[in-house]
Amino acid sequence: MTPTEYEYLRKFLKDNSGLDLSADKQYLIESRLLPLARKAGLSGIPELVQKLQSGSRALITDVVEAMTTNETFFFRDKVPFDHFRDTIMPEVIKARAGRRSVRIWCAAGSTGQEPYSLAMCLKEMGAALTGWRVEIIATDLSQEVLEKAKAGIYSQFEVQRGLPIQMLVKYFKQTGETWQINPELRAMIQHRQLNLLHDFAQLGTFDVIFCRNVLIYFDQETKINIFNRLARQIEPDGFLVLGAAETVVGLTDTFRPIPDRRGLYKPNDPRAAAAKPALAGVAPRMAVMAGR
Amino acid sequence: MKTCLVVDDSSVVRKIARRILEGLEFQVTEAEDGSKALEICQRQLPDAVLLDWNMPVMDGFEFMGHMRRLPGGDQPKVVFCTTENNVAHIAQALSGGANEYIMKPFDKDIIADKFAEVGLIPVGQAMV
């Protein structure tokens, strides 16, 4: 791939998905797009770029989806799910004892492993949540990915990544070479298509937001914009969970890290945050639309 | 250095498993059936056993039963690694004392994930 082709793809992805690749991500493009090019009967990346330049619409969607779909597996990174079980949920159960409901948003739900992992965590809590209304909303940019998440069907390879064998036996049903997550867990999750660059105020407010391994792809301004809008969708005592390589530090005062709980954040008092003029300066366009 | 006993009647599988496990910093010994594996365990128990099910002489399930009854035999983490990929076999293995279960074919990521799951390697290492 020539530098010109790489630059074209960078700009193309930025414009079409908000994905912001740094100058050294050639390997990522090649590993994701070469299989796609081959599948489309093209000789390689250069021909793929030509096709994109000529405006092949189907290909545009495929390229965006291939580049924005994360490799994902059950209980990815493990620690966030320990936090969910040991820190987040005990606090939520106490704080919401009156209304007995909890709303959770997986903002980069991908092929479903993360929302289903959360559903399994909640099931494992058993009696503590009896009689509670539990809502998990899983959103993703890609329709194809959402369909897979909705079906909850995984290959033998996929169910062996991160999923303890006891959980597989307990929560999945085997059909030939594939495994499908039980209807009871599937019913806990609503799947919706959503681009984080667009307004998401209609989703309502949440007690817990998982937004992992998606913001790393965005540039700083977009990250700040998304954090500020996430802050409007989270309860004042709610939790935000970010990926291991992500942070709010240095970007926004709308959230603060929780000490000794890596990846866990709490919203700051909005009045305190609004008092910082530096934030007003980067207030994003879409924030106005989002309103509250 | 932790030790892992790889029990499989296929020398190719043993070789692949050895390469993966040595990458995860295990000291690896091999056995081609349950009976040979049991002899090794009677001399010294490993930290981990990667265990095939169907083998001549003594199968993996029978081996696990004998090993678990050795003094200290409850200590090694047993991870089955077999083409038997149905729930009945998995349930049987777990109730017989297996800690984890890999359905073949496997790769480095799966072995690392499963070994991390039972605490044989730190979680972080599985993600490399």
**A164/B103 Cβ within 8 A:** no
Q: Which residues of B touch A166 (CB under 8 A)?
A: 94
Say yes or no to pLDDT of A291 above 80: no
Q: Which domain holds residue A173?
A: 79-285
A119 shares its domain with A15: no
> What's the one-letter identity of residue B33?
D
Same domain for A132 and A198, yes or no, is: yes
pLDDT of A281 higher than 50? no
Question: Is A131 inside any structural domain?
Answer: yes
**To probe the interface with A, which of B101, B102, B125, B128 has the most A CB atoms within 10 Å?**
B101
- Using alpha carbons only, how large is chain A's radius of gyration in Å? 20
Minimal Cβ distance to A169: which of B91, B106, B109: B91
Provide the pLDDT for residue A70. Answer: 60
Number of domains in chain A: 2
Q: Is the pLDDT of residue A282 over 50?
A: no
Mean pLDDT over A238-257 rounds to 93
How many Cβ contacts (< 8 angstroms) between chains A and B? 38
A58 shares its domain with A88 = no
> Rounded CA gap, A241 and A261, in Å?
10
Find the CATH number of the domain harbouring A49. 1.10.155.10
What is the CATH number for A279?
3.40.50.150
Assess whether A104 and A219 both reside in one domain: yes
β-pairing, A133-140 vs A189-193, is: parallel
Instruction: Name which of A28-42, A203-217, B15-29 the model is least confident about.
Output: A28-42
In a domain, A74, yes or no: no
Residue that is last in its domain, among A20, A38, A68: A68
Please indicate, yes or no, whether residues A92 and A229 belong to a single structural domain of this protein.
Answer: yes
Do both A45 and A147 map to the same domain? no
Same domain, residue pair A131 and A39: no
Q: Can you say how many angstroms the Cα of residue A18 is from the centroid of all Cα atoms in its chain?
A: 14
pLDDT tens digit sequence for A83-98:
999 999 999 999 999 9
* Residues A55, A8 within the same domain: yes
pLDDT value for B124: 63
- Cα distance between the two ends of chain A: 46
Is there a contact between B123 and A79 if contact means CB atoms under 8 Å apart? Answer: yes
Residue of B nearest to A176 (CA): B86
Nearest residue in chain A measured CA to CA from B118: A164
In a 3-state reduction of DSSP, which class is residue A49?
Answer: helix
Structural domain contains residue A292: no
Model confidence band, residue A278 (pLDDT cutoffs 50, 70, 90): very low
In this predicted model, what pLDDT tens digit does every residue of A251-266 receive, in sequence order? 999 999 999 999 999 9
Give a yes or no: residue A73 inside a domain: no
Residue A54 and residue A172 in one domain: no
Reply yes or no on whether the pLDDT at A275 is more than 60.
no
> Which is it for the CA torsion A253, A258, A262, A263, positive or negative?
negative
Regarding whether A180 and A89 lie in a shared domain, the answer is yes
* Residue A14 domain flag: yes
Place of tokens 């366009």: A285
Q: In this structure, is residue A203 part of a structural domain? A: yes
A165·B94 Cβ contact <8 A: yes
DSSP B78-126: EEEEES--SHHHHHHHHHTT-SEEEESS--HHHHHHHHHHTTSS-HHHH
Contacts of A169 in chain B (CB under 8 A): 87, 90-91, 94
User: Which of these three, A68, A90, A105, is where a domain ends?
Assistant: A68
Residue A37 pLDDT > 60, yes or no?
Answer: yes
Three-class HEC string of A190-254: EEEECCCCCCCHHHCCEEEEEECCCHHHCCHHHHHHHHHHHHHCEEEEEEEEECCCCCCCCCCCC
- What is the pLDDT of chain B when averaged over all its residues? 94
What residues of B are in contact with residue A160 (Cβ under 8 Å)?
Answer: 102-103, 106, 110, 113-114
Residue A77 has pLDDT above 90, yes or no: no
Hey, what domains does chain B have and what are their CATH numbers? Answer: 2-126 (3.40.50.2300)
Question: Reading across the β-sheet that carries A172-175, which strands appear in turn?
Answer: A153-155, A178-181, A172-175
Is residue A290 domain-resident? no
Of the candidates A48, A68, A88, which is a domain's last residue? A68
Are A14 and A109 in a shared domain? no
Residues A163 and A271 occupy one common structural domain: yes
User: Among partner residues A77, A156, A174, which is closest to B87 by beta-carbon distance?
Assistant: A174
**Mean pLDDT across chain A, nearest whole number?**
87
Residue A205 distance to chain B (closest CA, Å): 33
